[in-house]
Amino acid sequence: MAISSTSGNNSATSSAGVTVPSIDVAGIVSSLVKAEQQPLTGLNNRINSYQTKISALGGIQSALSSFQTAAQGLNSLTFNSFLATPSNSAVLSATASSIAKPGNYSLTVSQLAQAQNLVAAGQASTTTAIGGGGATTLSFDFGTITGNTFNATTGKYGTALSASTTNGSTTVTVASTANLAVGATITGVGIPAGATITSITDATNFVISAAATATGAAVALQANATFTPNGSTTKTVSITSNNTLGGIRDAINAANIGVTASIINDGSASPYRLVLTSNTTGIVNSMKITVTGDATLGSLLSEDPTATITQSLSQTTAAQNANLTVNGVAVSKTSNTVGDVVPGVTVNLAGTTAAPVTLSVASNVSSVSQAINGFVKAYNGVVQAIHSQTSYDPATKTAATLQGDISLSIIQSQMAALITSTAGSSTTGFSNLTQIGIGFQKDGTLAVDATKLNNALSSNYQGVANLFMAAGTATDSLVNYSSASSTTKAGTYGVNITQLSTQGTAVGNAAAGLTISTGVNDTMTIAIDGTSTSIVLPAGTYTAAALAAQLQTLINSSTPISSVGKSVTVSASVGGVLTVTSSSFGSASNIAISAGVGATNLFGATPSQVAGLDVAGTIDGISATGSAQLLTSTGGNSQGLSILIQGGAIGNRGTISYSQGLSSLLNSQVTSMLSSTGSLASETKQFNTNIKDIQKRVDALNARIAVDQVNLTNQYAKLDAMLGSMNSLSSYLTQQLSRL
């Protein structure tokens, strides 16, 4: 008789034909483990729910961040955006910066700036060596050629004159004064050394600076130009084995000295001509070229406009300034890009015209309208993001992920309250958004009435600006709002000044020496606001005004000073005493003149050097901190308010009214909402904490199940082995009984 197993189909037959019972250990254990794992489903669902909520909060935070960016865009840079439009774009174009002022300007351009162009004598080849190949240096100086005397036929400066002079007279009679100009030097028999033309009387007569000593007719004279360096350093180019025309061109270009060299072919027997063009326009950038070394190269490339015999090059284009009038005022500039005539506007000259061109500078209404519409769109994005996560769909009876979240309801209410608040000033025309065409719709989003907005921008642009951005309006024209901090409250505050800001100065204690001699008194060192520079004055005899102008040009064009944005004004008193004034204001503004022969010649032994002062005073009756011309409130409701005092008198300076503006208010509010301590961050943190807590329970349950699975597997394996042993015994007993 066989013993049957209770394990269903899990049976096997022994070699003796006896059925051996077996149980499904893996299946039984798997079923038991699945039963234990059922709580994990609920826990994981809760984790997924929290993760979905975190993701939903992240979407709302993203919408808030986009809105904050749009609100920040409605700032001074946006509202101080201007368009500069010329009536004739063929004559000029223009761009306006944030400091431009609306208005119309009348411009007439009579001459464009251009760079000097010099051409050398023709050569038969560009590759044949010129000269003996000895070491040669080309020295380039840049400056102003005065005295005219230019002969367009020869392309050179210097005019030969056949004159009739009178002994003891300063008037010279010639056949024609056409090529002459005031400042030209005059040499010849009977003309005192250093004499210059002081005036041109008419087409045949001019006056010189010293009386002539010769008499009679047909006196040979030579009128030459003068060259005044612009204060930049001399640039050099070395020529040795590269002494071909092509090699000279390449050497000049490689030296990067501010001159472009090229070669043209004029089609003649010696067609190849070297052309040198200054890279900078303007009369102060004419070239003087000195050649030391090879004489052949010297005869080809020397160019001294003051001496006829060393003018080897021909001038085909003279350096000249751009000449224009702006609202009837004559203006001369070295460049066709003029950025310091119309405030905040860079004018690019392209042509000349006799008829005035109107340049209109106006607020960029289109850009501002676009920014305001972007602001409304971003606000609506926040409203829609909150609605999509908190709504309930009655048709599907489905609640959104964050339905019932009180924090989101509070955020939407706070934003709506600010949108409807009074942010501007009634004195500037607008105090809320509805006045410029922005209002709420039934679903809580905003809509823009384009017609009403454009009318507001056209009729009261500054009023719209003040509605959005922090602004201050002073009763004194020399008191201007600069900035405010997050602690500054809207209001009207009194301004009282006890000390005006001043500029640093250095004043000579003696009249300046007007004769400058090379290597004797031509060099001095001066520091502007702590930045030092050394200058070298061109030798010569000056008037006090000319010396002041030359000194100012050299200081302002020196690299150490110009590279840090510093500058000075140099003036001369009636008695010839020089004064140097820093362009900056405040205690950091100062002029320091170093001792030395050059300095003593210009300013005397002990010049008076006085540092500038910072502004001082009160705002809203509270002592304020002064830095240069900027006065900043240190307490009260006006704390953090900074105003610019640009002159005027000591004492009561009226009031300044400050409004925070919607952009500033909303930016602060959204910053708080998005901060690490805000409600959104707190909710996200709590959800993450919940996820971590549940994950710990999941991990603990999984660990316990793993242990149980091992234990159950071992237990059922032992049971299976026991059943197997019993079946073997049963088979044995059955066999034994069958033999009886």
Q: For 636-695, how does the pLDDT look when each residue is reduced to its tens digit (9 = 90+)? A: 999 999 999 999 999 999 999 888 788 888 888 888 889 988 888 888 899 899 889 888
How far apart, in whole angstroms, are the C-alpha atoms of residue 173 and residue 63? 86
The residues that bridge with 538 in the sheet, in sequence order, are: none
pLDDT in tens, 278-310: 999 999 999 999 999 999 999 999 999 988 778
Residue 267, Cα to own-chain centre: how many angstroms?
49
Q: How many CB atoms lie within 10 A of CB 628?
A: 20
Overall number of domains in the chain: 7
Is 671 inside any structural domain? no
Segment 330-352 shows an average pLDDT of 93
Angle formed by the axes of helices 461-468 and 450-459, nearest 10°: 110
- pLDDT bucket at 1, cuts 50 / 70 / 90: very low
Segment 583-601 shows an average pLDDT of 93
**Whether residue 196 has pLDDT greater than 90:** no
- Worst-scoring range by mean pLDDT, 35-49, 99-113, 172-186? 35-49
Side-chain half-sphere exposure of 325, counting CA atoms within 13 A: 12
pLDDT in tens, 206-217: 999 888 887 777
Residues 127 and 244 in one domain: yes
Residues 126 and 245 in one domain: yes
Is 571 inside any structural domain? yes
pLDDT in tens, 110-158: 999 999 999 999 999 999 999 988 999 999 999 999 888 898 888 999 9
More confident residue, 738 or 416: 416
**Whether residue 219 has pLDDT greater than 50:** yes
- pLDDT bucket at 7, cuts 50 / 70 / 90: very low
Segment 453-471 shows an average pLDDT of 87
Residues 549 and 419 in one domain: no
Is 135 inside any structural domain? yes
Segment 358-373 shows an average pLDDT of 92
Owner of token pair 């406009």: 305
**Whether residue 732 has pLDDT greater than 90:** no
**Continuous H helices in 568-678:** 597-603, 662-673
Residues 376 and 427 in one domain: yes
How far apart, in whole angstroms, are the C-alpha atoms of residue 368 and residue 669? 23
Coil, strand or helix at 443: coil
Residues 560 and 495 in one domain: no
More confident residue, 18 or 492: 492
Q: Which domain holds residue 217?
A: 159-224
Residue 483, Cα to own-chain centre: how many angstroms?
19
**Whether residue 6 has pLDDT greater than 50:** no
What percent of the chain clears pLDDT 70, i.e. is strictly above it? Answer: 96
What pLDDT is stored for residue 424 in this prediction?
Answer: 57
- pLDDT bucket at 425, cuts 50 / 70 / 90: low
What pLDDT is stored for residue 3 in this prediction?
Answer: 33
What pLDDT is stored for residue 8 in this prediction?
Answer: 42
Owner of token pair 């500038």: 612
Is 108 inside any structural domain? yes
- pLDDT bucket at 542, cuts 50 / 70 / 90: confident
How far apart, in whole angstroms, are the C-alpha atoms of residue 639 and residue 445? 35
What pLDDT is stored for residue 9 in this prediction?
Answer: 45
Residues 511 and 626 in one domain: no
More confident residue, 9 or 736: 736
- Worst-scoring range by mean pLDDT, 219-223, 583-587, 650-654? 219-223
Owner of token pair 């972007």: 374
The residues that bridge with 222 in the sheet, in sequence order, are: 160, 187
- pLDDT bucket at 22, cuts 50 / 70 / 90: low
How far apart, in whole angstroms, are the C-alpha atoms of residue 495 and residue 653? 5
What pLDDT is stored for residue 428 in this prediction?
Answer: 55
Residues 508 and 528 in one domain: yes
Is 210 inside any structural domain? yes
Residues 655 and 584 in one domain: no
Is 674 inside any structural domain? no
Is 81 inside any structural domain? no
Residues 517 and 544 in one domain: yes
Amino acid (one-letter) located at 406: I
Which of 575, 610, 645 delimits the end of a domain? 610
Specify whether the CB–CB gap between 245 and 263 falls below 8 A.
Answer: yes
Residues 134 and 251 in one domain: yes
Residues 233 and 217 in one domain: no
Is 305 inside any structural domain? yes
Q: CA nearest 181: which of 223, 227, 219? A: 223
How far apart, in whole angstroms, are the C-alpha atoms of residue 334 and residue 22? 107
Residues 131 and 240 in one domain: yes
